[in-house]
Amino acid sequence: MSAFVIDPPEVASLPVEGEQARFPVRRIYCVGRNYLAHVREMNEGADERDPPFFFQKPRDSIVEDGGSVPYPTLTKSLHHEVELVVAIAKGGANIPQAEALEHVYGYGVGIDLTRRDLQTVAKDKGWPWEMGKSFDHSAPFGALAPASRVGHRADLTIKLSVNGKVRQTSTVAHMTWSVPEIVSKLSEHYRLEPGDVIMTGTPEGVGEVLAGDVLEAAIDGLPGLKITITEPVAS
Ligand code: MN
């Protein structure tokens, strides 16, 4: 007899470059407003050193490299945001910055897909961001690369192109809050656990995508990510 009254959901996970075994995903955290040039393009008037703030996406919203994303419902403005992804292997609360990198398993590239029109309504009304950020298929991720192989570099080029044309290009050195700062601050809000992944914010150049578009996201030395936006799903 099954332990569950219905079939349990699958364990969400990501492939790891060079490994047969996969990285299981517990939670997906996201950092808002972490590149000043993006804050400015959004006309948000936030200060460069405003404390970082966080939101989450459901782990079953992951789309892997080579996958497709049906154009989501209830939006006319689906935006791409390319981001460095940090995967956590060792849990902890109130992690000091100096120890933060000891908690990191590795890195990848992700796209924080955003229903920008719904996010704008949420901002205007003081509502949570979930309906703009945390919809089905909203978290395309490339494979992870272990830090034991790629190290902890803070100067990587980050790039996103749509149909072969570059839309976003920057370096993670432009992040307002660095990876150790993000891990430390986030662990003050939530106890981090193995399997958590963190999307670390997007540089400038965000913009709309349409059904039929092919998005390619890349960060130096990390596995790439290519997805296709497809027609909306009717039911
Ligand atoms: Mn983002």
Distance in Å, CA 83 to ligand 1 centroid: 7
Domain ranges of the chain: 24-230
Distance 54 CA to ligand 1 centre (A): 10
d(CA 118, CA 103): 34
Strand partners, 56: 29
Three-state SS for the chain is: CCCCCCCCCCCCEECECCCCCCEECCCEEEEECCEHHHHHHCCCCCCCCCCCEEEEECHHHEEECCCEEECCCCCCCEEECEEEEEEECCCECCCCHHHHHHHEEEEEEEECCEEHHHHHHHHHHCCCCHHHHCCCCCEEECCEEEHHHHCCCCCCEEEEEECCEEEEEEEHHHECCCHHHHHHHHHHHCCECCCCEEECCCCCCCEECCCCCEEEEEECCCCCEEEEEECCCCC
pLDDT on residue 234? 80
Average pLDDT over residues 23-41: 93
**184-219, pLDDT tens digit by residue?**
999 999 999 999 999 999 999 999 999 999 999 999
Specify the pLDDT at position 47. Answer: 66
Q: State residue 45's pLDDT score.
A: 66
For the segment 156-181, the average pLDDT, to the nearest whole number, is 97
Question: DSSP assignment, residue 233?
Answer: P
pLDDT on residue 68: 98
Q: How far is the CA of 186 from the centre of ligand 1 (A)?
A: 15
Give the Å distance between the CA of 200 and the centre of ligand 1: 7
**Whether domain 24-230 has CATH 3.90.850.10:** yes
What's the pLDDT at 153?
Answer: 92
Distance 149 CA to ligand 1 centre (A): 26
pLDDT in tens, 33-81: 999 888 888 877 666 667 888 999 999 999 999 999 999 999 999 999 9
Tell me what pLDDT residue 26 has: 98
Q: Give the mean pLDDT of the chain.
A: 95
On the question of pLDDT at 152 being above 90, the answer is yes
Which of 38-52, 117-131, 132-146 has the weakest average pLDDT? 38-52
